[in-house]
Amino acid sequence: MVSMLQLQVTDPGTYWTERERRLLEVLLLRVCAHVNYRVLGVPLRIRPAKIDAIHLLLNYELWFERMLLDEEIIRFEEELARDLDQTLEMCEIQHISVLLKAQTGSSTA
């Protein structure tokens, strides 16, 4: 069972203005919220990860209000990966890697 996913998006080495970076960040986080609403319908908190890294464009934790079953998290990850890939492709953004890491534990962080 999973209560938290970590979303990491690598920086492709392209120069991003602060505005472009923020727009991309907001867009990708809205995709996460929409996929959660569409697939799971579970209350979700999105928080910046405590550890920051230079090579990451985004580093967020997606906390679910309840523990998710493995089947639920697999479906969510598949849908989210597909939607994020489509969004980045429509924005003509290439060479960005999206990593989702599931972590088990209490959702009361």
CATH number at residue 62: 3.30.70.360
The answer to pTM > 0.85 is no
Task: Write the pLDDT tens digit of every residue in 7-57.
Answer: 888 877 777 788 988 898 899 999 999 999 999 999 999 999 887 677 788
Three-state DSSP state, 71: helix
Q: Tokens standing for 19?
A: 């505005």
Q: What are phi and psi of 37, to 5 degrees?
A: -60, -45
Residue 108 resides in a domain: no
The rounded Cα 29 to chain-centroid distance in angstroms is 6
Average pLDDT over the chain, rounded to whole? 85
Residue 22 resides in a domain: yes
Which of 59-63, 88-92, 93-97 is predicted most confidently? 59-63
**Domain total in the chain:** 1
Structural domain of 40: 2-103
Residue 49 resides in a domain: yes
Distance in angstroms (rounded) separating the CA atoms of residues 52 and 35: 25
